[in-house]
Chains A and B, each alone.
Chain A
Amino acid sequence: MTFVPYSSDHVDALQEIVNVAMGRAAAALAGVLGTFVRLSVPRIRIVAAADAGRAVRVLVGEHAKITAVRQSFHSDLAGEALVLFGEDGCTDLADLMGYDDCDEPGMQTELLLDLSNLLVGACLCGVLEQVESGSNVSFSAPSIIAERAYVHALVRPDALSWTHSLVVELNFSLEHRDFSCHLLILMPEEAIERMRALLDRVLAAV
């Protein structure tokens, strides 16, 4: 599939939409978690499948061992979200998420899935409700795709079914807690084109 890059107007509009969405997401998450939430300024770009692995390694560090949760979403725009946790996971977040006891083996995993779902949902809904009227997004259940695995084993370009993907990356951290994770939203070709049309509409309305 030949791929036409976004114009600078498209990029600016998308960046603005995503910034606004993340501001809202941070406020909503703070409301749910009861603590101040920091979301980095999102980085938006289009990467080729061959570079996807490198993009992830640059984000989390070349030799890092990570735990990754994936979730897919379907709407006018469809794609996958990845949440990448460092080796420590998020042990000390149990109380924030309403867990009384996080010592049981399954609870750690559930906590990761819960937190990923919150993050992905908050961030994506914020983007979609700005570009789609009456957003009808639905999500798959989140699942763990890697546990304490090396980054290079996570994204294998030969296993990807797309050639280009729109990638939104951001970092999520909490005030007064030694915790952070990375969020990657990936939307393959069709979504890139669909988003272009939605952005045209937004730009025309300005």
Chain B
Amino acid sequence: MSYDLFAFIVDRVDVGIFAVDRSMRVILWNRFMEIHSARDADQVLGKNLFECFPELPRRWLEKKIHGVFTLKNFAFTSWEQRPHLFRFKHNRPITGGADFMYQSCTFMPVKYGGDDVEAVCVTLFDATDTGIYRKRLDRAMASLKESVNRDGLTGIFNRRCLESELSKEFDRCRRYGSPLSLILFDLDDFKRINDTHGHLAGDEVLRVIAQRVAKNVRSMDIFGRYGGEEFVVILPATDLDGAEAAAEKLRSIVAATPVTFGEQRLAVSASFGIAEAAPDLTSYEALLDRADSALYLCKSKGRNCVMRPAAAATPAAELAAV
């Protein structure tokens, strides 16, 4: 009675169960395996597993099963690394996205009382649902990670991302002694554009200038919107002269062409402060401050220009000035 019960359960349980002997002949093939392989037990029993299913990765799987016989130990495969062993259809033909049923398998050594392993029993679990959900989750996480670093209006990097990248570059510059510079620029008279032509016009200016500058920075540079009408370009492996040349190029590109908004053509220019991570700077915030002080000089010089930090910005000179 109890044997019938076990046999019934093994046959009907919603998990694939099969077993092979030492010569890889199939000695158990349950109903789950029958249904999904479209092969009845009598077509498979007593036959070599690999001859019945030539699509199986023979060399690897034989080694794995052989290992269970020799080491008398469990072995496993997971859908995460190897999505399927058998080319079984899954039951989500419409909502799926996977080619075959994802499968996780456990290989169990079978002993009949003695010490020798007589057979290897494989239980095969359908992991398709888990796999599909995991793929969706991975996609959602990737897009979340992307959006968390992007400025909603302009699509370029946001302040959060800029600060984290600047902090990394600053550490790298300190560790390896490679130069690092920064451009901080600000659209001139932006408030006037907003006041005269409306916020929609202001938004369009921000978008157009962001795209224009993004096309003209080097691939290694990191460009983003720092806030309001302020933008930052991080220039790794670049000294102050290099930063000045880059800023001058961007300045002329920004000012060269007015931004079209409806019928109107809005003249735009920007002021550029640059700074280099000199040895006296102890943090990336100090580097930002120094670029900001240079930007401030631009404003007093009549805007639409590029300025270095004043010589007085070195600590020794600051002390002397006091």
A interface residues, Cβ below 8 angstroms from B: 28-29, 31-32, 97-100, 106-107, 109-110, 113-114, 117-118, 121-122, 125, 138-139, 141-142
Residues A125 and B71 in contact, CB atoms below 8 Å apart = yes
Contact flag A98-B60 (CB < 8 Å), given A110-B81, A118-B67, A141-B106: yes
Check B70 against A28 for contact (C-beta < 8 Å). yes
In terms of DSSP, what is the predominant structure of the interface of chain A?
A: helix
- A141 neighbours in B (Cβ, 8 Å): 76, 78, 104, 106
Q: Tell me whether A117 and B76 are in contact (CB under 8 A).
A: yes
Classify the secondary structure of B's interface with A. mixed
Q: What are 8 inter-chain pairs, A to B, with CB distance below 8 A?
A: A31-B70, A98-B60, A107-B81, A110-B82, A117-B73, A117-B74, A122-B73, A139-B73
Contact with A along B59-89 (1 / 0, CB 8 A): 1111110110011111111101110000000
Contact B71 A28 (CB under 8 A): yes
B76–A113 CB distance below 8 A: yes
Chain B residues near A109 (CB-CB < 8 A): 80-81
Residue of B nearest to A106 (CB): B81
B104 proximity list for chain A (CB < 8 A): 141
CB-CB under 8 A for A117 and B59, given A31-B70, A32-B70, A106-B81: no
Give the residue name and chain of the A residue nearest to B74 (CB).
A139
Q: Which residues of B contact A125 (CB under 8 A)?
A: 71-73
B residues sitting closer than 8 Å to A (CB atoms) are: 57, 59-64, 66-67, 70-78, 80-82, 104, 106
A121 and B71 within 8 A (CB): yes
Compute how far the CA of A122 lies from the CA of B60 in the bound complex, rounded to whole angstroms.
19
CB within 8 A of A98: which of B59, B73, B74, B81? Answer: B59
CB distance from A196 to the nearest CB of B (A): 26
User: A110 contacts which of B66, B67, B77 (Cβ < 8 Å)?
Assistant: B77
B67 and A32 within 8 A (CB): yes
A195 to chain B, nearest CB (A): 20
Please measure, in the bound complex, the distance between the C-alpha atom of A113 and the C-alpha atom of B70, giving whole angstroms: 18
**Neighbouring B residues of A98 by C-beta, 8 Å:** 59-64
Q: Would you give the shortest CB distance from B124 to chain A, in whole angstroms?
A: 13
Kindly name the residue among A98, A122, A139 whose own CB sees the greatest number of chain B CB atoms within 10 A.
A98
Closest CB in chain B relative to A9 CB, distance in Å: 28
Is there an interface contact between A121 and B73, defined as CB atoms closer than 8 Å? Answer: yes
Q: With a CB–CB cut-off of 8 A, which chain A residues contact B76?
A: 113, 117, 139, 141-142
Q: Which residues of chain B have C-beta atoms less than 8 A from A139's C-beta? A: 73-74, 76
B82 x A106 contact (CB < 8 A): yes
Q: In the complex the two chains form, is B71's CB within 8 Å of A97's CB?
A: no
User: Lowest 10 A-B CB distances belong to which pairs?
Assistant: A121-B73, A98-B63, A110-B81, A106-B81, A141-B76, A98-B60, A139-B74, A32-B67, A98-B59, A122-B71
Task: Collect the chain B residues with CB atoms within 8 Å of residue A142's CB.
Answer: 76
Q: Does B82 lie within 8 Å of A114, measured CB to CB?
A: no
